[in-house]
Homo-oligomer: A and B are copies of this chain.
Amino acid sequence: MTPLLEARHLRYAYPDGRQALRDCSLSIAAGSRNVLLGANGAGKTTLLQHFNGLLRPTSGELRLDGQPFDYSRAGLAALRRRVGLVFQNPEAQLLAPTVAADVSFGPLNLGLPPAEVRQRTAFALAAVGLTALAERPVQHLSHGQKKRACIAGVLAMSPDLILLDEPMAGLDAAMQAELIAVLDRLAAEGVSLLVSTHDVDFAYRWADTLYLLEDGCCTAAFAADAWPEQLAVLRAAGQPQPAVLSLYQQLSERGLAAAPRLPRSFDELLAALPRKAAAPCEECSECLEKSGLSAPVPATPT
Question: Residues of A with Cβ closer than 8 Å to B?
Answer: 39-41, 142-144, 169-175, 198, 200, 238-240, 243, 246-247, 250-259, 266, 269-270, 273-281, 283-284, 287-288, 291, 293-294, 296-301
A-B contact pairs, 29 of them (CB 8 A): A39-B172, A39-B174, A41-B142, A170-B170, A173-B198, A173-B200, A243-B266, A247-B247, A251-B273, A253-B276, A254-B274, A254-B275, A254-B276, A255-B297, A255-B299, A256-B256, A256-B277, A256-B298, A258-B301, A277-B297, A278-B293, A280-B291, A281-B288, A281-B293, A283-B287, A283-B291, A284-B284, A284-B288, A297-B297
Q: Say whether B280 contacts A296, CB under 8 Å.
A: yes
Q: Say whether B238 contacts A174, CB under 8 Å.
A: yes
Partner of A298 from the list B40, B171, B198, B255 (CB cut-off 8 Å) is B255
Measured in the bound complex, the distance between the Cα atoms of B270 and A295 in whole Å is 18
Measured in the bound complex, the distance between the Cα atoms of B251 and A298 in whole Å is 11
Q: Say whether A250 contacts B270, CB under 8 Å.
A: yes
Asked, given contacts A254-B273, A291-B281, whether A173 binds B296 with beta carbons under 8 Å apart, the answer is no
Q: Say whether A173 contacts B239, CB under 8 Å.
A: yes
Measured in the bound complex, the distance between the Cα atoms of B45 and A143 in whole Å is 14
**Residue numbers in B under 8 Å from A143 (CB-CB):** 40
Measured in the bound complex, the distance between the Cα atoms of B252 and A270 in whole Å is 12
Asked, given contacts A276-B254, A277-B256, whether A296 binds B293 with beta carbons under 8 Å apart, the answer is no
Counting chain B CB atoms within 10 Å of each CB, the highest count among A143, A279, A288 belongs to A288
Tell me the nearest residue of chain B to A41, going by C-beta: B142
Asked, given contacts A39-B172, A173-B200, whether A256 binds B144 with beta carbons under 8 Å apart, the answer is no
Q: Say whether A238 contacts B172, CB under 8 Å.
A: yes
Measured in the bound complex, the distance between the Cα atoms of B174 and A201 in whole Å is 14
The 4 A-B residue pairs with the shortest CB-CB distance, nearest first, are A172-B198, A277-B296, A255-B277, A258-B301
Measured in the bound complex, the distance between the Cα atoms of B251 and A278 in whole Å is 13
Q: Say whether A297 contacts B173, CB under 8 Å.
A: no
Measured in the bound complex, the distance between the Cα atoms of B288 and A283 in whole Å is 9
Question: 4 additional contacts, CB 8 Å, given A253-B276, A255-B300?
Answer: A40-B143, A250-B273, A255-B277, A277-B297
Measured in the bound complex, the distance between the Cα atoms of B278 and A171 in whole Å is 44
Tell me the nearest residue of chain B to A296, going by C-beta: B277
